[in-house]
Structure formats: C-alpha cells, structure tokens
Amino acid sequence: EVFPVVADVTQPEDIQRLVTNVEEQFGQIDILVSNAGGPPTGTFLDFDDAAWEAALRLNLMSTIRLCRAVLPGMRARGWGRIVNITSASVKQPMKGEFRP
C-alpha cells in the first residue's frame, strides 16, 4: 500500500506532520528507513558554512528528529526497527578531493 506524504524533512513541523499522517493512515510506525540523499559533489574546500549547515540539516538533524518522533511508540510497543542510510558514496566514492 502506498501513502504519499509531501514533507521537507529539514523542517521540524513537516516531520511531525509526516509522522502524524502516517500513524493516522496505518495506526503505528514499526519500521523507519531514513534516506535523505548524499552530499553535493565537490571538494571539501568548495563548500561554505551555509552548504555544510544545509547538509547537516538534511542528513543529520532530519534523522535525529525522525527517530525522536517514532521512538516513543516503538519503545511503548517493545518493538521497532530504524535503518539510517546517509549516502551511497560510502560504497561508490564520488569524484572529489581524494578521487580524480
């Protein structure tokens, strides 16, 4: 069953709305898979503070907020699984600072 929900996971209120909508549709969340996508291509020195902060909001803070939103229900039920995927570049490095 597919239940599409549009959400910007860098926005805390969107995360809460996403979780609420999914729980209303399915009753509970037993498994969370977060996969926000990898970093933009470029070298370490190509990115300014704004780019680093945007990457942290997308890849770190969104995952923290999603986990915080679903963990209470998982703990109350005594069961749940969380899978966090950050980037495929850990298996297939992208062109950048240390890869020609």
Could you give the number of structural domains in the chain? 1
- DSSP-H helix ranges across the chain: 12-26, 49-56, 62-77
CA distance 81 to 95: 33
68 lies in some domain = yes
What are the structure tokens assigned to 61, written together?
């803070």
List the structure tokens of 3.
Answer: 């239940």
Nearest to 59 by CA among 41, 40, 43, 80: 40
Question: Would you state the pLDDT for residue 41?
Answer: 72
75 falls within a domain: yes
Mean pLDDT of 67-92: 88
> Of residues 2 and 38, which shows the higher confidence score?
2
Residues 15/66, Cβ–Cβ less than 8 Å: yes
Using alpha carbons only, how large is the chain's radius of gyration in Å? Answer: 16
**Structural domain for 80, as ranges:** 12-16+26-90
Task: Please report the sign of the dihedral spanned by the C-alpha atoms of residue 82, residue 34, residue 32, residue 17.
Answer: positive
The answer to the question of residue 99 being in a domain is: no
pLDDT tens digits for range 14-73: 999 999 999 999 999 999 999 877 666 777 888 899 988 998 999 899 999 999 999 999
Q: Which amino acid is at 81?
A: R
Residue 86 falls within a domain, yes or no? yes
Whether 66 is in a domain gets the answer yes
Answer yes or no: pTM beyond 0.85: no
pLDDT band at residue 99 under the 50/70/90 scheme: low
In a domain, 21, yes or no: no
Within a domain: residue 100? no
Would residue 31 count as lying in a domain? Answer: yes
